[in-house]
Homo-oligomer: A and B are copies of this chain.
Amino acid sequence: MSGEGGAAAGGYTGTERILALSDGVFAVAITLLVLDLLPAFGAAARPPALGAFLHDKLASYLSYVLSFLTIGVIWTNHHQMFTQIKRSNHVFLLLNIVFLLWVAVLPFPAALLARYLGQNGPDHKDVVATFPAGHPLFESNAAMAIYAGTYVVGSVLFNAVWWYGIRNRRLMGDDTDHAAVRRTTWSYYVGPAAYVLDLILSLFSVGAGLGLFLALAIFYALAPLPSMNRLVAPKRARI
């Protein structure tokens, strides 16, 4: 963009194509969540009764909203990360691809949660395993724990991308606000610990697991507010 051709490929700067692929994977993965809501393709000529069809999908709606909002918040944090990281090297590309591998798989735990959320209680006791103390693990608990566990992995990967980025000073912008970086780093530490806690809670109570998960989405949605508004909207931006 700046006439220094060395780092710019076809109008892309060092981070532009990472962002193009990342935004593409985020956009596709987040939109594929809707597949779980759709009626079966090639269904019989006579569809099931509308009321029953909609009612059977209740867990799918919950999973869709929870997953979409969480992935959306992760995307804003990824967006936030790239207000600080302004160049790329090969290791950073690779780390980001491993992170995207995780983003793209998210429709899978979302579909599991949707499918197995109601699978416990007195009616259908689908016990996956029994804990030493005799506590039964229902399929709904297992699905919620897998869902939370996926985000344990994701928050570790997110931290890894961020850590590599801020350790490697050449990837940061020259005008880095180091205090903001430190605050951001601390807020990211919350993720792995909180999702591990959520995983453990989920084994005992699906409701508690879902509740904490939602609370974390809200925390991550609102946490960057103080610093980010300043970072993203400078007093005077010429476009």
A contact residues vs B (CB 8 Å cutoff): 1-21, 23-43, 45, 47, 49-51, 56, 64-65, 68-69, 72-73, 75-76, 79, 82-91, 93-94, 97-98, 100-101, 104-105, 107-108, 111-112, 115-116, 119, 126, 128, 139, 142-143, 170-171, 173-175, 221, 224-225, 228-229, 231-234, 237-239
Contacts and interface: CB of A to CB of B under 8 A. Distances in A.
11 contacts: A3-B239, A5-B239, A10-B15, A10-B19, A11-B19, A21-B27, A23-B27, A30-B104, A41-B41, A76-B90, A94-B221
A131 to B, nearest CB: 15
A9 B76 CA distance: 13
B29 A36 contact: no
Contact of A21 (B26, B107, B239): B26
Given A23-B20, A101-B72, A10 B6 contact: no
A28 B79 CA distance: 20
Top 4 A-B pairs, shortest CB-CB distance: A40-B42, A24-B27, A10-B15, A72-B97
Chain A binding site: helix, strand, loop or mixed by DSSP? helix
B11 A13 contact: yes
Number of this chain's copies in the complex: 4
A231 B212 CA distance: 45
B18 A10 contact: yes
Given A41-B42, A116-B50, A119-B47, A21 B23 contact: yes
B47 A115 contact: yes
B64 A10 contact: no
A179 to B, nearest CB: 15
A96 B175 CA distance: 28
A24 B18 contact: no
A76 B88 contact: no
B11 A12 contact: yes
